[in-house]
Amino acid sequence: MGVYQVTKKGKFLIANKSMAEMFGYDSPKQFLSSVGNIIDLYARPKERSGILKKIDDEGYVEAKPVEFKRKDGKSIWVNIYTRVTTGQNGEKIYEGFMENVTDRMRMERQLLQVQKLEAVGTLAGYYGAIRAIEEYIQSAKNLTKQLLGFSRVGKYEVGAVDINDLLLESSSMFGRTKKDIRISTRLYDPPPVVAADRSQIEQVLLNLYVNAGQAMPDGGHLHLETKVVPLGESETKPYGVLPGRYAQVSVTDTGIGIDESNLQRVFDPFFTTKEKERGTGLGLASAYGIVKNHSGIIKAESKIGQGTTLQIYLPVTDQPAQEQVPPKTGIAGGSETVLLVDDEEMIIAVGQAMLEKLGYRVLAARNGEHAVDMVKHSEVEIDLVILDLIMPGMKGDRAFDLIREVQPTIPILLSSGYAIDGQATDLMNKGCNGFIQKPFKLSELSQKIRRILDATKKTTMD
């Protein structure tokens, strides 16, 4: 143990041989003549004031481990055990021991590295579980979409959709999960094209497949068919839609069927004939809301023991189907400064970690008022703001307006747990640079940020 005494200002009064050797000196005399003040030994001198305060408050302190510097400039890690006493002239004297724990720290770090490698191996083994957690999160996100679709408040991104292509793509996805169900198709030629939000209609079809699959627990046959049919006023008026040419999509299963009394209620929200653990009663209700919001019709026909047919009618458009361009994938990093605004601690913590992983410098604000203040007074230039829409106090739309008053050209990426709706659409129309729905993946976030920053730079250069 190194034994020592110092004054409050840090001047050494005594030091033993172990103390001297610990810091690279041959003798206590050499140590005392060479080291003017204990503060000179600290790697971070401000640490001493905190240690002194604790000693003055409690009379004794164990500080461990603290980084010091040896004579040769190398770091050593030391545990300090110090108490305060009073000298002959009434001056405070700090005396105690120092224990060199550098080798122990090095071994602990090596052990920690081994443990980290073991943890990587363990995480690799848990990969399936992690994917399952991610799927549950996405399921919660999809449930929100279902509720919005049922309530008919969600805003859709409408394009010209090849219904045959969507049917094949979605049924192939479903078929990979249900090997005991044989899927057959009969598709109209030329392929019907409808004006629709592709992802929303895909959600409808997947709901129909899932319901069909649950009606065939021991396997069976799922038949999918498309047609183009004319519907007159007598056929459309009961559903509140206009007469015209419609794409008809039929989904027929060989399941247990639905009795007449339940058939009348299949599109009611929260109605289900399944056990509580297997159904929420929202699948067909959300499908009804989505189809209705597309000015379409959905109908069900069924008999006990003879299966069920669900039919969707969507207005045909003369526009050519939009080609599906796969979104950019992968991770895109950067070094700009990003202000992350969200009232949830978890979003701030995870979002900041994600952004720093991408290489960005991150500032965080936990409400709209704080965000506006940071934009006004930040000492560094903020290159992008990621702004939550729904926050207590100042809402995201108000924060957007005030931020743009301070910095009219600052890029802003809007973030929300809800689908892009009225408020978000208003902000997009005001010049907001993009929208991302929570929960978002690292690749999705990185690509959106990079596109906005690169577009902003290009505009500035032009």
Tokens of 385: 């703001």
Task: Please determine, for residue 126, whether its predicted confidence score (pLDDT) is greater than 80.
Answer: no
- DSSP label at 447? H
Q: Would strands 159-162 and 412-416 be described as parallel, antiparallel, or unpaired?
A: unpaired
Residue 360's pLDDT band, with cuts at 50, 70 and 90, is very high
435: β partners: 414
Task: Please determine, for residue 30, whether its predicted confidence score (pLDDT) is greater than 90.
Answer: yes
In sequence order, what are the residues at sequence separation of 6 or more whose Cβ sits closer than 8 angstroms to the Cβ of residue 381? 337
- Calculate the alpha carbon distances from 10 to 29, 38, 63, 95, 374 in Å: 17, 5, 16, 11, 40
The SS3 call for residue 366 is coil
Residue with tokens 């994600």: 354
Query: For position 172, what pLDDT does the model report?
Result: 86
Which of 270-279, 389-398, 413-422 bottoms out in mean pLDDT, i.e. has the lowest?
270-279
pLDDT tens digits, residue range 314-350? 999 988 887 765 555 567 888 899 999 999 888 888 8
In sequence order, what are the residues at sequence separation of 6 or more whose Cβ sits closer than 8 angstroms to the Cβ of residue 277? none
Query: For position 153, what pLDDT does the model report?
Result: 47
Residue with tokens 């001198």: 45
How far is the C-alpha of 360 from the C-alpha of 351, rounded, in Å? 11
What are the percentages of helix, strand and coil residues in the chain, rounded to 5? Answer: 40, 25, 35
Main-chain phi, psi angles of 243, to 5 degrees: -65, 155
The SS3 call for residue 41 is helix
Mean pLDDT of the chain: 84
Q: What percent of the chain has pLDDT over 70?
A: 84
Report the length, in residues, of the chain.
Answer: 462
Residue with tokens 């020592």: 4
pLDDT tens digits, residue range 257-291? 888 877 777 777 655 655 544 444 456 787 888 88
Structural domains for the chain: 2-101 (3.30.450.20), 134-315 (3.30.565.10), 337-461 (3.40.50.2300)
Q: What percent of the chain has pLDDT over 90?
A: 39
Residue 392's pLDDT band, with cuts at 50, 70 and 90, is confident
Task: Please determine, for residue 9, whether its predicted confidence score (pLDDT) is greater than 50.
Answer: yes
pLDDT tens digits, residue range 226-235? 999 999 999 9
pLDDT tens digits, residue range 66-104? 899 999 989 999 999 999 988 888 888 999 999 999 888
How far is the C-alpha of 112 from the C-alpha of 399, rounded, in Å? 44
Comparison of pLDDT for 240 and 108, the residue scoring more: 240
DSSP H helices in 193-344: 198-215, 233-236, 260-263, 283-293
Strand order from edge to edge, sheet including 434-437:
361-365, 337-341, 384-388, 412-416, 434-437
